[in-house]
Structure 1
Amino acid sequence: MDRMRINRSHLDNTEPSPHAGALLLAHPSLLDPNFRRSVILLTAYGESEGAMGVVVNRPLGHTLGEYDADWVDSPLSTVPLFAGGPVAQDQLILVAWKWSAEAGTFQLYFGIDGEKVQQLLAKDPEFQIRGFLGHAGWSAGQLDVELEQKSWVLSACLPILNTTPEKIDWHELLCHERPDLRLLADAPDDPSLN
């Protein structure tokens, strides 16, 4: 996928629907270790095609230059790496995005190469660049079933993506989107510690 652009001014305040550019917040009851307390940026969604995304709140504490010697001398050597999901964890996916509050748009480039990233940054240094090892994927209809089962909370809080990686906080986003879930979100991992 190359580029996606969403104009938020055309969206109303009704219940959000899944689409490329939406955020999926794991429901507090979702215990699968691959997704527990995760924030996923949906990068593709289609009722008949399935969905794909990357986990944006699991930084690995490494950069492209530390991950692969081929990137050491690259202008992208300091791009942070994330655990993107349980599928193809040995695959590096480069992603660029930009949220523009003034224009009400979100631009997303997914699965692009280093040359394309450098071209984007040369034109507009406001793009956020991230590297992901692996991704999350759902077959046709699977994500819809999981949404019906309340495994995920949809969010359109895209400005959070313009912050530093450490600031993408599942708890904060979930409680902002669904204050009624705060008690469940505050529960410790081990209930005996409560």
Structure 2
Amino acid sequence: MYDETQDDSPELAGSLLLAHPHLKDPNFASSVVLMTRHEESGSLGVVLNHSTGERLGQLSSEFNECGLGNVPVYVGGPVSPNQIILAAWKLIPDLGQFQLFFGMEPLAAQSKMKEDPDLVFRAFKGYSGWSEGQLLSELESNAWVVAEVDAESISSKDGADLWRHLIMEVNPELGLLSMVPEDPDAN
């Protein structure tokens, strides 16, 4: 959960936002959001675990031609859903760092793919955005749980499994709430 004693400024950039199990907004329920920018003027991130089931090559033959046709596509958020954002990341174990390339042009992504086979590539339709003060307000109302990036998990797990895994790691009590079915009567 959000700790008001935390420095509430750019520290959120490079972290994960995990939707609280009670967050029912259809855009963000059970979401894991990678925060790429957090400034006084607003915040930006992409939802990592809402796959469209598509590959870039299905969206445009241009992506097949530059070698990006098999990159999986995710719903990055409700803002600008027709915009495609390319990203790649990897864990640098020796340094304990997470390296992120965000908002790459297709040719730059193609070059990175050839240079470094350890990079995990994803494409996002749209992004998640918050206006000035909006995200901090949501954090104060406990709509989100802030977590460090777990590069191994975000590369190997998907969907609600990723969200449950990360929630359980951060707060086991919330992890138990994440397992409650949406409609307990259907259980």
Using the size of structure 1 for normalisation, the TM-score is 0.85
Q: By how many angstroms is 1:92 displaced? A: 0.5
Aligned 1:37-186 pairs, distance under 5 A: 37-46=30-39, 48-159=40-151, 160-163=153-156, 165=158, 169-186=162-179
Three-state SS of the structure 2 residue aligned to 1:130 is strand
Q: CA deviation at 1:119?
A: 2.0
8 Å Cα contact 2:47-2:127 kept in structure 1: yes
Residues 16 and 156 in structure 1, CA contact (< 8 A), matched pair in contact too: no
Q: Determine if the alignment matches structure 1 residue 30 to structure 2 residue 23.
A: yes
Q: Runs (4+) of structure 1 moved beyond 4 Å?
A: 14-18, 164-168
Asked if 2 retains the 8 angstrom alpha-carbon contact of 1:58 and 1:84, the reply is yes
Amino acid at match of 1:30: L
Query: 1:172 and 1:143 mapped to 2: Cα distance?
Result: 23
Task: For 1:163, give the aligned amino acid.
Answer: S
CA contact (8 A) 2:63 2:106 kept: no
Question: Does the Cα contact within 8 Å between 2:18 and 2:147 map onto a contact in 1?
Answer: yes
Equivalent residues, number: 180
What residue identity is the alignment partner of 2:132? A
Percent identity at matched positions?
A: 40
Structure 1 unpaired stretches of 5+: 1-13
SS of residue paired to 2:90: strand
1:21-58 CA distance string (max 9 Å, x none): 10100001101000000000001111x12110000001
Letter in 2 for 1:25: L
Q: Is residue 16–residue 154 contact of structure 1 (8 Å, CA) maintained in 2?
A: no
RMSD (CA atoms): 2.0
CA distance in 2, matches of 1:91, 1:179: 36
Give the residue type in structure 1 aligned to 2:133: G
- 1:165 Cα offset (Å): 4.3
Conserved 8 A contact 1:24-1:41 = yes
Letter paired with 2:35: L
Whole-angstrom CA distance in 1 between matches of 2:101 and 2:133:
24
Q: Note the residue ranges of structure 2 that are not aligned, 5 or more in a row.
A: none
Q: Does the C-alpha gap of structure 1 residues 101 and 173 become closer, same or farther in structure 2, counting only changes over 3 Å? A: same
TM-score (structure 2 length as normaliser)? 0.88
Counterpart of 2:150 in structure 1: which amino acid?
L
Deviation at 1:121, TM superposition (A): 2.3
**Contact 2:15-2:146 within 8 A present in 1 as well:** yes
Q: 1:71-121: per-residue Cα shift (whole Å, max 9, x none)?
A: 233311100000111111111010111121221111112111011112222
Any idea what the Cα deviations from partners look like across 1:113-155, whole Å, max 9, x if unmatched? 0111122223322111110001100011111111111000011
SS at match of 2:65: coil
